[in-house]
Amino acid sequence: MWIMRSRFAICGLTAAVLAAAPFCAAQTPCSGVSGGTNYKVLVDEVEFATATGSQPALSLELLQSSVEGALEKVRRVVLARTVSPASVVYLPCPGRHPQGVSEFTDTYVRTMSANHAILELWGTLFPLGGDQHSFDIHYVMFPVSSVTAPPPSGIATTQKTMASKPTPLQVKDYFVDARSDLPAYFTLAAGVQAYADNKLDEAARLLCEARTRLKRKTEQQDLMKFADQLASKAGAELRKSSDPAGTSLMSEAQAQDYCTFATTR
């Protein structure tokens, strides 16, 4: 069973404590973020937390390729009728494993969003005793965090209790399962960025997909409503467009409930 949380632990209580604690120091940056208009997904490390530090739970290359394959499959289906959708690059970030929300300041988040970074994800497995482990998967949706004040939040955590220590393939499968939270947060972040880039049809389709996925998650209704409202806003702007004969592309009612229109035409 997946348990949703909107925040994860902060490393320290004060700037002085953060400065003094090595595990709360500034994290390894991810190369390839700066510049360009491609949307960027940052894939960080997944680690086992141990008494003496941490160790990788699976290879970053396997995780990155699996995330890319799963999300591109979703994107192809959602944007099948969209002309020239934005390109997405999936950046592996060796050695990067954020420890808390204190790293994601407003300035940092806005800088990442300005560089078209849309999503960052990583995971930690904690021993619970015996063979049980708690698997925390963290997500930062940069476009959402940069344009909205909580709630809703662009930072989320999914937690799963596992009966035994997972294998690398099991860890990978939990990340990319079609029913997991990853596709919902990806389509939401990509949709918000597409709206900011004035790619209105692409934005609305992605946001409607996010709304559909988030609707099933009772803990994320704020995000679901945000996706629905922004999709309808994109629909209202699309309604202002006209075909060569000057006819509106949709009715006012369709624009007000754009997700229904976008998924049935």
Structure token pair of residue 126: 């904690």
DSSP strands (E only) in the chain? 3-5, 39-50, 53-56, 88-92, 117-129, 132-141, 155-162
**CB atoms inside a 10 Å sphere around CB 19:** 11
Q: Is 61 exposed, middle or buried (0-12, 13-18, 19+ CB in 10 A)?
A: exposed
Q: Is the pLDDT of residue 18 over 50?
A: no
Instruction: Give tens-digit pLDDT for 139-195.
Output: 999 999 988 766 578 999 999 999 999 999 999 999 888 778 999 999 999 999 999
pLDDT, tens digit (0-9, with 9 covering 90-100), for 21-77: 333 445 788 999 999 999 999 999 999 998 777 899 999 999 999 999 999 999 999
Domain membership of residue 168 (yes or no) is: yes
Q: Range of 140's domain? A: 3-209
62 domain residue, yes or no: yes
Determine the Cα–Cα distance for residues 65 and 67; give it in Å rounded to an integer.
6
Does the residue 124 lie in any domain? Answer: yes
Residue 209 and residue 75: Cα distance in Å, rounded? 10
User: Is 249 inside a domain boundary?
Assistant: no
Domain membership flag for residue 30: yes
Is position 89 within any domain? yes
Contact by Cβ (8 Å): 226, 204: no
Q: Six-digit token pair at 180?
A: 């997991």
Report the domain count for the chain: 1
**249 pLDDT exceeds 90?**
no
Strand duo 3-5 + 117-129: pairing: unpaired
In a domain, 243, yes or no: no
